[in-house]
Structure 1
Amino acid sequence: MASALADAPKVLNGHSDTIMSGITNGVASASVAATSNGNDNANGNANDNANDSSQQKRPAKRQNPGNNRAWKQKKTKREKNITEGSSEDVLRLDIEALLASRKSQTDGQVEVDADAEENLPEQGTEIEVEVMKLSSTGDGLAMRPGSNWVYIVPFTVPGDIARVRVYRHVHTEKQSFADFISVVKPSPLRDDARIQCKYFASCGGCQFQMLDYSEQLNHKKRIVDRAFRNFSNLAPEVVPAINDTIGSPLQYGYRTKLTPHFDGPPGFRHNKRGKNPRTPFDSCPDIGFMQKGRRKVLDIEDCPIGTSAVRLGMGRERERMHKDFASYQRGATILLRENTKRLPKDSDEIPQGELPPCTVRVDNEDTVDLKTCITDSKATTTEYIGDYLFTNPAGSFFQNNNSILPKFTQYVRERILPPSGNIKYLIDAYSGSGLFTITLASLFEHSIGIDIAADSIASAGRNAALNGMGEDRCKFIAADAGELFKSVSYNAEETVVVLDPPRKGCDDSFLSQLRRFGPRRVLYVSCNVHTQARDVGVLVRGEGEGERYEIESLVGFDFFPQTGHVEGVAILNRVDTKE
């Protein structure tokens, strides 16, 4: 991803956006959304912003090496409600594993500097390090010869000798954060000719453009494996081998939603009481995505992971802002969302000759898709997944990689039913706008989609009708979080439950409800395999009241090529203990 892609924040269910219009002379602008970084899931969008473990302000001066006061990394907004399985947790455990591995391999044969902490380079110093391992956050974990002090360096791969600039020492964790400067000696895994974005290694989005795609998939398989080793609290023998990560048909040009943004004018400070002086821009601000490791917008005119329609829309909006910048007194986020109009090949609506501005034509076997870019968060966008049709408000959550969705939904369809057993019913918890309920409904006598957000339920109902499904096939319920299964009358023995929660995973209350209901089979989809592993561990251990489960399979899907993010799919079966 060549962007920080700061989406709007989630509501509790993870499938509805809260997007506020940007302000133009105090009037809401239809094409600008003031948002904060977010992350979506498979019913919504898989993740927008790459794990940025180092997004902190640079210190003015060096920390006192003798000062062991704990430094607490500030969590990003998209992770602030994650109590276990955050990027900080993931990074810490990956570093511990690296150090343990090195100790085991060297067995004391390699001389280690006992005074490493006293010999740390001054903050701001440039040094050379060797990258030993890739963390599950996407950062390289590097060391200097003879030292067990770890340097966290973005945009590197194992085997790189890199020149970096150290900017923070965390003495309590025996680690330091550093900016990537250059490669002194490249790893055999690295080929910079693969990089397709000139902002790579500056922008905080993509991490792996220098890696062959097969190696990206291998790394994401390791991410899933580590997640279950580190966060499931399960014995290794009850966790099956992780299947190979399923790749995206498109590695670039796949992203159907981008949200570039710009900061307020110089001197602007957000004031909750609304007493901020209105200071107009004297020139067009930088419009783009966050620079890696800094709270600064990087001016980016194009993002190669966006679809062609979205990239055209990005250019159009940048041109508009260069004309209209003086109308704005605050920063905002620009929504760019692909919209598809599908027509029969003999339709008179298909333009002959030159296409309208910012329109892309895609020829299918029997139809033609005309793709445009929507910027109004309240406008309705249309997407097709195979023969299924979905409409949503442009600002709401829906999966951002349409190219992988047919493969993904087919995978789920082929595995949603157990090899044996009479399954009649589907419950789609965290149903959002109905992706799973609608694409799976034909396999069941009846299906129910449950969500705590009424607007998501309304969208799901409209999508069901668009796909020819009435309440005799599926219905959608807006339920309170504490009573999600209260309105369900299905026999648990004949029921499958699909889970697709937000990034923070399921809370204890939901998992307790699920275990008390005790469906025959559970399919858990997650945009955060670390919180997924934690929740699956709860279901497998089966402590306290309710049923317990065993894991049938685990696999990752690469919804976001070039980044360190992976979508996890876990299939579980109820363990019958009555025998």
Structure 2
Amino acid sequence: MATGQSTIDAGATPMAVPAQAGDNHKQPGKRPFNGGHQRKGAKHRRKQKTFQDGSHEEVLMADIQAMLDSQKIVDDVEGGASAEEEETPLPRKGTEIELEVVELSSTGDGLAKQKGSDHIYVVPFSIPGDTVKAKVYRHNFEEGYTAADFISVVKPSALRDDSRIQCGYFAKCSGCQFQMLDYTEQLKLKRNIVVKAYKNFSRLSPELVPDVLDTIGSPLQYGYRTKLTPHFDAPPGNKRRGPKNAHTFMPAVGFTPKSTRQVLDIEDCPIATDAVRKGLTDERARMAVEYGNYVKGATILLREDTKRIVKASPSDAIETPEGVPENAVRVDADTHVDFKTCITDQNATSTEYIDNFQFTNPAGAFFQNNNSILSPFTAYIREHILPPSSLASTASKPPIKYLIDAYSGSGLFTITQYSLFPGGSIGIDIAEKSIAYARRNATLNGLDESQCRFLAADAPELFKSVSAYNPDETVVVLDPPRKGCDTSFLRQLLEFAPRRVVYVSCNVHTQARDVGVLVRGQQTGGEQKEKKKRTRYEIESIRGFDFFPQTGHVEGVAVLNRVDEA
């Protein structure tokens, strides 16, 4: 099929792609609508929140507000439209309309307009330049936009080539947004997401934010996800209280698509690894036999597990080891053979490798879900965790000796970066179970406590545990959950004042918010003004990493240096 030719129709019988972590976002509250009007020239204002949470709704609204501002839609008369303003009727719920997609939101949704109107529509699975048919399903008057379901492409964007799409459920399942795009174009869009995150959430002057570097792509664009969690609903008719009926037929097993709560049945997922895809097939076969045992809904874990057999020489013939199923996915390399299977027990232990580092985790616990990018990702951290030579050679500064890995989990950075820190690396996490696995992982990789150690502690209290470290000789790596760092942690970080900070994030919007706090800094010291000093940071670099190709998600790495006032 030629580039730009379109065959997408959301009514086609599909195969599914599951939602990524964080894709099933809370939607704005529904409100009844039986027809309505939009004031022409009205600017929509939302109540200002004191805390930016980087949620799907907040990110979407930042993009919509920017689009409204760019259209110079200004409400000059508070409390109502002027006599000259014309009211434009909005289509009723369920109406199918044609829309022209103008921009792409950082949520991965298209921002579109109807010809002759400035009203904004949010349409998933669309890209700038598309003309699409969409069905209106919710008007959000206060926020200034209408949500619409994608139906089909009327006229494709020059960027669209639907022959690239490898999943029949695309444009139904909420997991992927970009399968119609060339991968190079996906990376450009993700760089722009990072740019907008710092523009909208950091509250920093533009001159304080360096140019965002190009997004590092994933070695695999399909077949990369090492964990999926499809689910199925309870039997219809069962109520919270009272007797429960079992399923009388196999329920849909899959993921919840956009704009509905009904589970989308899936048979395969091309972004998952071969082992996980095989596990999905096996679990569906099991459910076809055992569905009558379930009176409730449930989530199914599919987690890749790797058993590695090291070769004595590249020519070694390696047979399937005892205990590994004959149908395990085999991956041959010069130095080893990996046998990959799928775990479905939440409490089982999964194993994976990053280069020659071995990591174990509870199968149901969090660990990065794209193993193919972890080697270049950890290599990038290794290249940037210490100051560049131009800074490291400053005569007044001692060499950095210590690594503090906050939110360390099972030790990804503490272990992969340990060799750079002669004073040792320490990983700190609130979850004792994660710390137990981190210690186990250190042992598996031949590391003792003089090289890396781990401590279970609440992150806001962690700096009390490292008070002996000289901040001038310390780098802190941050990898918090999606909500980012809390204010107490950031305050303590500024008080400790490490020489260098590497902030890794799965939510570039809360990362931008927190980096803004570090760049603005705070006053510390005694009561007298002359005794106070200001701790603040400057941004050395910002770069995105594409952990989830085909989706609108991007992870970020920001490197910061402490500014020492003269």
Q: TM-score, normalised by structure 2?
A: 0.86
For the 8 Å contact 2:194–2:212, the answer to whether it is kept is: yes
- Whether 2:563 is the aligned partner of 1:575: answer yes
Q: Residue 250 of structure 1 corresponds to which residue in structure 2?
A: 220
- Whether 2:400 is the aligned partner of 1:434: answer no
% identical aligned pairs: 62
Q: Residue 21 of structure 2 corresponds to which residue in structure 1?
A: 48
* 1:457 partner SS: helix
Query: CA offset at residue 66 of structure 1?
Result: 8.6
C-alpha distance after superposition, 1:226-273 (max 9, x if no partner) = 00011101000010000000000000000000011001000234x4xx
* 2:282 partner SS: helix
Q: Residue 382 of structure 1 corresponds to which residue in structure 2?
A: 351
C-alpha distance after superposition, 1:190-239 (max 9, x if no partner) = 11101000000000110110111111100000000000011101000010
C-alpha distance after superposition, 1:399-452 (max 9, x if no partner) = 000000000000000110002051000000000000000000011021110111
Query: CA offset at residue 344 of structure 1?
Result: 2.7
For the 8 Å contact 2:226–2:303, the answer to whether it is kept is: yes
* 2:92 partner SS: coil
| Amino acid corresponding to residue 490 of structure 2 in structure 1 | L
For the 8 Å contact 2:125–2:150, the answer to whether it is kept is: yes
For the 8 Å contact 2:38–2:89, the answer to whether it is kept is: no
Query: CA offset at residue 517 of structure 1?
Result: 0.5
Query: CA offset at residue 348 of structure 1?
Result: 8.2
* 1:547 partner SS: strand
C-alpha distance after superposition, 1:365-393 (max 9, x if no partner) = 12110000000011111100001000111
Summarize the Cα distance change of 1:116–1:544 in structure 2 as closer, same or farther, 3 Å threshold: farther
Choose from 168, 190, 201 the match for 2:171: 201
Q: How does 1:47-446 map to 2 (within 5 A)?
A: 48-50=21-23, 52=25, 62=34, 64-65=36-37, 83-103=52-72, 118-269=88-239, 271=240, 275-345=241-311, 350-351=319-320, 356=325, 358-419=327-388, 420=392, 421=397, 422-445=399-422, 446=424
For the 8 Å contact 2:309–2:337, the answer to whether it is kept is: yes
For the 8 Å contact 1:2–1:206, the answer to whether it is kept is: no
| Amino acid corresponding to residue 85 of structure 1 in structure 2 | G
Query: CA offset at residue 87 of structure 1?
Result: 1.5
For the 8 Å contact 1:124–1:166, the answer to whether it is kept is: yes
For the 8 Å contact 1:55–1:292, the answer to whether it is kept is: no
* 1:486 partner SS: helix
* 1:119 partner SS: strand
For the 8 Å contact 2:34–2:92, the answer to whether it is kept is: yes
* Distance (Å, rounded) in 2 between the aligned partners of 1:66 and 1:459: 56
* Distance (Å, rounded) in 1 between the aligned partners of 2:550 and 2:136: 25
* 2:112 partner SS: strand
| Amino acid corresponding to residue 407 of structure 1 in structure 2 | P
- More deviation in 318-327 or 168-177? 168-177
Summarize the Cα distance change of 1:222–1:360 in structure 2 as closer, same or farther, 3 Å threshold: same
* 2:213 partner SS: coil
C-alpha distance after superposition, 1:29-51 (max 9, x if no partner) = xxxxxxxxxxxxxxxxxx52436
Q: Residue 566 of structure 1 corresponds to which residue in structure 2?
A: 554
* Distance (Å, rounded) in 2 between the aligned partners of 1:152 and 1:479: 42
* 2:350 partner SS: strand
- More deviation in 417-426 or 192-201? 417-426
| Amino acid corresponding to residue 504 of structure 1 in structure 2 | K
For the 8 Å contact 1:56–1:293, the answer to whether it is kept is: no
* Distance (Å, rounded) in 2 between the aligned partners of 1:517 and 1:483: 12
- Whether 2:503 is the aligned partner of 1:524: answer yes
Q: How does 1:499-514 map to 2 (within 5 A)?
A: 499-514=478-493
- Whether 2:443 is the aligned partner of 1:465: answer yes
Query: CA offset at residue 4 of structure 1?
Result: 4.0
* 1:343 partner SS: strand
| Amino acid corresponding to residue 511 of structure 1 in structure 2 | L
* Distance (Å, rounded) in 1 between the aligned partners of 2:478 and 2:177: 29
C-alpha distance after superposition, 1:530-577 (max 9, x if no partner) = 000000000000134362100000000000000000000000000001
Query: CA offset at residue 171 of structure 1?
Result: 1.4
* Distance (Å, rounded) in 2 between the aligned partners of 1:56 and 1:266: 25
Query: CA offset at residue 56 of structure 1?
Result: 7.4
For the 8 Å contact 1:71–1:170, the answer to whether it is kept is: no
For the 8 Å contact 1:49–1:205, the answer to whether it is kept is: no
Summarize the Cα distance change of 1:195–1:71 in structure 2 as closer, same or farther, 3 Å threshold: farther
| Amino acid corresponding to residue 269 of structure 2 in structure 1 | C
* Distance (Å, rounded) in 2 between the aligned partners of 1:326 and 1:209: 37
Summarize the Cα distance change of 1:115–1:343 in structure 2 as closer, same or farther, 3 Å threshold: farther
Summarize the Cα distance change of 1:474–1:100 in structure 2 as closer, same or farther, 3 Å threshold: same
* 1:496 partner SS: strand
Query: CA offset at residue 174 of structure 1?
Result: 2.2
Q: Residue 537 of structure 1 corresponds to which residue in structure 2?
A: 516
Query: CA offset at residue 55 of structure 1?
Result: 8.2
* Distance (Å, rounded) in 1 between the aligned partners of 2:66 and 2:52: 21
Q: Residue 35 of structure 1 corresponds to which residue in structure 2?
A: none
* 2:192 partner SS: helix
C-alpha distance after superposition, 1:118-160 (max 9, x if no partner) = 4111111000010000000000000012211000000000000
For the 8 Å contact 2:460–2:489, the answer to whether it is kept is: yes
* 2:549 partner SS: coil
Summarize the Cα distance change of 1:478–1:276 in structure 2 as closer, same or farther, 3 Å threshold: farther
Q: Residue 78 of structure 1 corresponds to which residue in structure 2?
A: none
Query: CA offset at residue 97 of structure 1?
Result: 1.7
Query: CA offset at residue 487 of structure 1?
Result: 1.1
C-alpha distance after superposition, 1:163-210 (max 9, x if no partner) = 000011111222100000011100001111010000000001101101
* 2:89 partner SS: coil
Choose from 547, 558, 578 the match for 2:535: 547
For the 8 Å contact 1:51–1:564, the answer to whether it is kept is: no
Q: TM-score, normalised by structure 1?
A: 0.84
* 1:556 partner SS: strand
Q: CA RMSD in A?
A: 2.6
* Distance (Å, rounded) in 1 between the aligned partners of 2:302 and 2:120: 39
* Distance (Å, rounded) in 1 between the aligned partners of 2:130 and 2:255: 26
* 1:330 partner SS: coil
* Distance (Å, rounded) in 2 between the aligned partners of 1:233 and 1:311: 43
Q: Residue 10 of structure 1 corresponds to which residue in structure 2?
A: none
* 1:133 partner SS: strand
For the 8 Å contact 1:162–1:184, the answer to whether it is kept is: yes
* Distance (Å, rounded) in 2 between the aligned partners of 1:332 and 1:403: 29
Q: Residue 108 of structure 1 corresponds to which residue in structure 2?
A: none
- Whether 2:476 is the aligned partner of 1:497: answer yes
